[in-house]
Chain A
Amino acid sequence: MGQIELRAVDRIFRIGDTRVHALKAISLSIEAGEYLTVMGPSGSGKSTLLNILGLLDRPDHGEYLLEGREVGTLPPDQQAGVRSRRIGFVFQSFHLVPRLSAADNIALPMMLAGVPARERRRRVAAALAGVGLEDRADHRPQQLSGGQRQRVAIARATIMQPALLLADEPTGNLDRATGAEVTQLLEALNHGGTTLIVVTHDPVMGERARRRLLLDDGGLADDRRR
């Protein structure tokens, strides 16, 4: 059994009388350490799939097993625990807290998890070095470039050493060169053993992964491995 098992997962949004079938019977098995890209037209359900994998959203039907345990139906506080320890997020628009410094943004998940301050400082210093931003620890997000912001966000996403890293169009707001740097950073983390799932519109980036999913109108249209 894979690290991630999706079995016939449905996600249906209801707005008034209309029903949007955002995910249709998605079944998927992902091994630990895999590198996947998810592509597909706008509105095909890529973000919805990622949100369900990240426990930010719940399937309406079907099962979601993470590391052998059904997590899709856990109560919110237990899901929060799983998110805290096993899952990291990288967003298209970075989502850094504007009033916090780069170091404090990176420390945020550890603070929420109750990691002692000393340990936090040590790990933040290492993480900043890991993304090449040692000299930007005290900068606010507004004082950083887009690429630097996304690197801070990646440091934050990995500071708890998650087993699963989810990135929704991580290079969508970056120019090609900066985007390539961010991609390399994510791939380096994957080489370290973290499962990496990246939603992208960029065919070049899409082609880099060993496994590529194609969504179309909520259904899994293609699942190719290289």
Chain B
Amino acid sequence: MSIGDLLRFALQAAAGSPLRTGLMALAMAIGVAAVVVLTALGDGARRYVVNEFNALGSNLVIVLPGRTETGGIGIGNLSASTTRDLTLRDAAALLRADGVVRVAPLVVGDAEVSSGGRLRSSYVVGTTADFARLRRLELAQGRFLPNEGLERAGSWAVIGATIREELFGPRPALGARLRIGDRRFRVIGVLASSGQGLGMNTDELVLVPAASAQAMFDTNTLFRILVEARDRDALARVKSQVANILTARHDGERDVTLLTQDAVVGTFDRILAALTLAVAGIAAISLAVAGILVMNVMLVSVTQRTGEIGLLKALGAAPMVIRRAFLAEAAMLSLAGAAIGECLGFAGAAVLRATFPDLPAYPPSWAVIAGLATALATGMGFGTLPARRAARLDPVQALARGL
């Protein structure tokens, strides 16, 4: 029997019982759609995080107080225990390192912010002029923190777009007075609305000089120091110099952790890629369920078509031909179901993107192909048992069943 005849025969048989066929195709479609949508979600999350990190700039060395002992860089290491304070003087010292362009210390806390009777709580970030360039912040109005000495506690504040909207509304914000905690500041700039930023939405930030923030939060330590190298090539050199300078300043003890973007991005990339795979695996379970359904429906089909199988044998069909006819039917239905599932999956991913515009939820091409291949493999795998049962039927008894 030629391949073309085999497929046509299987197609006619499938069309002969639309309910059975529809059920099988639907099961496959749901399984494949689940794989496509869930991997789109997982991969979208991965891309989102990687993009966010890359937006921070790729030439950064991040200095954290405290030393982590583990070799690898995981999420847990970001909260290393503090041993010795990182100070503004440490930050200033890093500027001397070769290849360093900018250094931005960070002091972070939250405080009540009020102006003209309106009040809200907000993250307050103490930093220096370099932070704006380092994070590539755009200003909507006014200017950023002035380039003063690191330890000058000026009373200037730059506010995010949302803060401006909520505290000032239609009133002009530039030049207005702002109360942060129990201190007074003057608004000198408003950040352009960005909505971007990992874990820290710049729209809801209030930025003040680092020394002012330290005084406000009554601390001498820094949350981070961001060090920008001249370019990517300088990164390794800068990193080792930063380590040496800080070790020297901390009585010869290496008690800071240095992260580079590469490592962080790479880690998140790997973690989220693994997560995507895991999610795909879970979705593939629905394909296995679909496979079991295919098997049952096919077994019913073999029972219903027993008379026909007997006839085909009487007309000279070898067992192998019968087996192939049933396998072709299973393969065809699986593929049709998978194709429908891919369409549903892509539609679902589009809905996801429309709902969460920040999330680049595109189904990864490997998942599209794997979904199709898995559907075909499960369909044929689970179709094998019914097909073999059909091929082994005793022709006399099968014929006695009638068509």
Number of interface residues of A (CB under 8 A): 30
Q: Would you give the 0/1 interface string for B306-325, flagging 1 where the beta carbon is closer than 8 Å to chain A?
A: 01100111111111110000
| B399 part of interface (Cβ distance < 8 Å) | yes
By the criterion CB–CB under 8 Å, are A83 and B13 in contact? Answer: no
Q: Are A51 and B315 in contact (CB under 8 A)?
A: no
Confirm or deny: B5 has a beta carbon within 8 angstroms of a beta carbon on chain A: yes
- A111→B5 CA distance, assembly (Å): 7
Q: Kindly state whether residue A25 has any CB partner on chain B within 8 Å.
A: no
User: Residues of B contacting A99 with CB < 8 Å?
Assistant: 12-13, 15-16
Nearest-neighbour CB distance to chain A for B162, whole angstroms, equals 67
A97 to B9, CA, bound (A): 12
Q: Is the CB of B1 within 8 A of A56?
A: no
For A98, the chain B residues whose CB sits under 8 A away are 403
Task: Answer whether residue A89 sits at the interface, using C-beta atoms and an 8 A cutoff.
Answer: yes
Interface residues on B, range: 20 to 34
**Contact indicator A97/B403 (Cβ below 8 Å):** yes
Closest to B316 in A: A84
Query: In the complex, are the beta carbons of A56 and B314 less than 8 A apart?
Result: yes
A95 touches B403 (CB 8 A): yes
Among the interface residues B316, B320, B399, which one has the most CB atoms of the partner chain A within 10 A?
A: B316
Across the A-B interface, the 9 shortest Cβ-Cβ residue pairs: A84-B316, A80-B318, A77-B318, A99-B16, A83-B316, A109-B315, A56-B395, A112-B317, A111-B5
On chain B, the residues within 8 Å of A80 by CB distance are 313, 316-319, 321
Q: Which residues of B contact A (CB under 8 A)?
A: 1-2, 5, 9, 12-13, 15-16, 307-308, 311-321, 395-396, 399, 402-403
Among B15, B315, B402, point to the contact of A108 (Cβ < 8 A). B315
Q: Is A61 an interface residue (CB 8 A)?
A: no
Task: Classify the secondary structure of B's interface with A.
Answer: helix
| Residues of A close to B307: CB separation below 8 A | 95
Q: 1/0 contact trace for A33-65 toward B, CB 8 Å? A: 000000000000000000100101100000000
Inter-chain CA distance A43–B9, complex, in Å, is 37
Least Cβ distance of A23 to chain B in Å? 13
Chain A residue numbers with a CB within 8 Å of B311 are 95, 97
Given contacts A56-B399, A84-B316, A97-B311, 18 further A-B contacts (CB under 8 A): A51-B396, A56-B313, A77-B319, A80-B321, A83-B315, A83-B316, A87-B316, A91-B399, A93-B402, A95-B399, A111-B1, A111-B9, A112-B1, A112-B316, A112-B321, A114-B1, A156-B315, A160-B316
Nearest CB of chain A from residue B62's CB, rounded to whole Å:
70
Instruction: Find B396's partner among A56, A95, A96 (CB 8 Å cutoff).
Output: A56
Residues of A within 8 A of B320 (CB): 77
Judged by a CB distance under 8 angstroms, whether A68 is at the interface is no
Among B12, B15, B16, B312, contact of A112 (Cβ-Cβ < 8 Å): B312
Nearest-CB residue, chain B, relative to A84: B316
Which residues from chain B contact A160 at a C-beta distance below 8 Å? 316
Chain B residue nearest in CB terms to A160:
B316
CA distance A3 to B133 in the complex (A): 100
A95 near B402 with CB under 8 A, answer: yes
A214 adjacent to chain B (CB < 8 Å):
no
B residues less than 8 Å from A85 (CB atoms): 316
| Interface membership of chain A positions 132-170, coded 1 if the CB is closer than 8 angstroms to chain B and 0 otherwise | 000000000000000000000000100010000000000
A130 to chain B: which residues have CB within 8 Å?
none
B315 CB, min distance to chain A CBs, angstroms = 4
Does any Cβ of B come within 8 Å of A81's Cβ?
yes
Give 8 CB contacts A-B under 8 Å: A56-B313, A56-B314, A80-B318, A84-B316, A91-B399, A95-B314, A109-B316, A156-B315
Interface assignment of A30: CB less than 8 Å from any CB of chain B:
no
Alpha-carbon gap, A114 to B5, bound state (A): 8
Asked whether, in the complex, the Cβ of B403 is within 8 Å of the Cβ of A96, the reply is yes
| Contacting residues, chain A, for B13 (C-beta < 8 A) | 99
Task: Kindly provide the distance from the CB of B326 to the nearest chain A CB, expressed in whole angstroms.
Answer: 14
When distances are taken between beta carbons in the complex, the residues of chain A under 8 Å from B317 are 80, 84, 112
Contact between chains at B403 and A100 (CB < 8 Å): no
**Complex: chain A residue closest to B6, CB-CB:** A111
Set of chain B residues within 8 Å of A93, measured between Cβ atoms:
402
In the bound complex, what is the Cα–Cα distance between A96 and B16 (angstroms)? 14
Could you tell me the distance between the alpha carbons of A149 and B386 in the complex, rounded to whole angstroms? 31
Q: Which residues of A contact B315 (CB under 8 A)?
A: 83-84, 89, 108-109, 112, 156
Contact among B316, B395, B402 for A113, CB-based, below 8 A: B316
A2 at interface, CB cutoff 8 A: no
Known contacts A56-B314, A56-B399; A76 and B12 CB within 8 A of each other: no
A76–B399 CB distance below 8 A: no
CA distance A91 to B314 in the complex (A): 11
Query: Which B residue sits closest to A80, measured CB to CB?
Result: B318
The 0/1 profile, CB within 8 Å of B marked 1, for residues 100-121 of chain A is 1000000011011110010000
Specify which chain B residues have a CB less than 8 angstroms from the CB of A156 in the assembled complex. Answer: 315
- A100 CB to closest chain B CB (Å) equals 7
